[in-house]
Structure 1
Amino acid sequence: MSSTATASPFRFFDLVVAGVERLSPTMVRVAFGGPGLASMESAGRDQRIKLFFPQPGQDAPVMPDDDGGNWYPAWQALDPAVRGIMRTYTTRSLTRDPDRLVVDFAVHGEAGPGSRWALGAAAGDRLSVLAPVVAENVAYDFRPPAGTDWMLVTADETALPAVAGIFAALPAGVPVRAWIEVADAADRLEPPTAADADVTWLVRGTDPPVPDAVRAAALPGGTPYAWVAGESATVKAVRRHLVRERGFDRRAVTFTGYWRRGTTEDQLLAAAESA
């Protein structure tokens, strides 16, 4: 009996920083080049990728040899004090001539490895990324069902790059109601879109939190689709309100906790591995 191996829709790429731009008090944009980027793909929208950062004292992250479907156990098997530090980000854009991957980093001081790295990033710095090599892949979530009349979007600054990708992909004229919470008024980075988008910006600590703002809003009629992302407890509160109080079909609510207050991604990974 013979078997045919199925090529993985994702693979590792080595990245080199080509440029850094401070967009706002809490957003840093980094453009990457690197060998082989011509074969990288993106579905746009909220396309997820895995970035791997070097440990302190390293010039580049230590990566597993496996570049296919078994990369995760291969990465787990490496010494945690040596292996590349993995974090999940969103592809902000992928462009050609030259090949460039752009990632926007929501920075929050020295609180995490991604934020620390982005605040000190300079041309020539090296990272690795696990990214798709086919445009249609499982690592994006924004998938409105057929028959959707309008969209509801909620997010915070960590999900703002995904919102920008989603807004860029929306058809002209589609109605969108969005609530985006940011740390500073200067973080209000309007995402370009052809959609009929009504965006409410909320400054944390000054304006009502996202769940309260959505609860107080008058929403359009018709069949909605909701994409809800950001801090885990906030995401759950918004989803609960939409499904229980607004009557949204739970299958038409996509919700993703990008982070959890008081918990690091390393702790979340450890909890998942021990479950």
Structure 2
Amino acid sequence: MRPLSRVEPIIIAGRHTYTPLDWDPGEGRTRLLGYAHGDGPGSEWILGLAVGDQCEVFGPRSSLDADRVAPPRALFGDETSIGLAHALVRAEQVSPTRCCFEVGDADISRQVLARLDLDAATLIVRRDNAGHLPALENALKAFVTAGASFVLTGQSGTVQGLRQKLRDHGVPTSRALEKAYWAPGKRGLD
């Protein structure tokens, strides 16, 4: 399989959107990284999936055009954003994307990131009382100071909160992309 040259997600079975790690339309194969973070249809689908399963795929399609923000880029997201981070880093030739993830389990996340050559990613462990948000905001501020552009993905509340922090720091909208992948209690987000 060949790595993607562009970051374009695919839609599987008409309802789940994923950024492929690899894409081979000639062979009809792709490689995905999925994260089951609840009991919704996406989690049920990914947990029931087995190697070699066939499914209907639509795409790749344009969803989040990272080329709209200039390098250096900083991606902030959660476990659902790791596939996108992998695709962004592999697609860039110069000034690779730096990544910061809010995660539930740092040890498992480090193992996954190491297999995808994303060892340099910053991990911030999620806390039930949102006690991790100041650390996430401090990481964001460091990238603002360094002049980065931003790609914000993952849980909708976190994406909105980080976007507000960027506004507070005077980062223009032209230096930020955002895409909520999921929201607690919601179904059907990208």
> TM bucket by the smaller chain?
0.7 to 0.9
Unaligned runs of 5+ in 1: 1-30, 32-40, 53-84, 270-275
State how far apart, in whole Å, the 1-side matches of 2:66 and 2:41 are. Answer: 27
Matches within 5 A, 1:88-99: 88-95=17-24, 98-99=27-28
Are 1:254 and 2:177 an aligned pair? yes
The C-alpha deviation readout for 1:171-193, integer Å capped at 9, x for no partner, is: 34x26543201221212222426
Distance 1:130 1:246, change over 3 A: same
TM superposition shift of 1:95:
3.8
State how far apart, in whole Å, the 2-side matches of 1:128 and 1:216 are. Answer: 42
Counterpart of 2:166 in structure 1 is: 242
TM superposition shift of 1:43:
5.0
Unaligned runs of 5+ in 2: none
TM superposition shift of 1:165:
0.7
Matches within 5 A, 1:99-248: 99-108=28-37, 111-132=39-60, 138-145=62-69, 148=70, 150-172=72-94, 174=95, 176-185=97-106, 186-188=108-110, 189-190=112-113, 191-192=116-117, 199-205=121-127, 208-209=131-132, 211-217=133-139, 219=142, 221=145, 223-243=147-167, 245-248=168-171
The C-alpha deviation readout for 1:50-73, integer Å capped at 9, x for no partner, is: 111xxxxxxxxxxxxxxxxxxxxx
Q: Count how many residue pairs are aligned between Structure 1 and Structure 2.
A: 182
State how far apart, in whole Å, the 2-side matches of 1:175 and 1:91 are. Answer: 18
Query: Which structure carries more strand by proportion?
Result: 1
Percent same amino acid among aligned pairs? 26
Q: TM-score, with normalisation over the residues of structure 1?
A: 0.57
* CA-based RMSD: 3.1
Query: Which structure carries more helix by proportion?
Result: 2
Determine which of 29, 32, 44 is the counterpart of 2:6: 44
- SS of structure 2 residue aligned to 1:152: strand
TM superposition shift of 1:255:
0.4
Amino acid at match of 2:173: R
State how far apart, in whole Å, the 2-side matches of 1:123 and 1:102 are. Answer: 10
Amino acid at match of 1:201: L
State how far apart, in whole Å, the 2-side matches of 1:180 and 1:48 are. Answer: 19
State how far apart, in whole Å, the 2-side matches of 1:257 and 1:96 are. Answer: 27
State how far apart, in whole Å, the 2-side matches of 1:261 and 1:159 are. Answer: 16
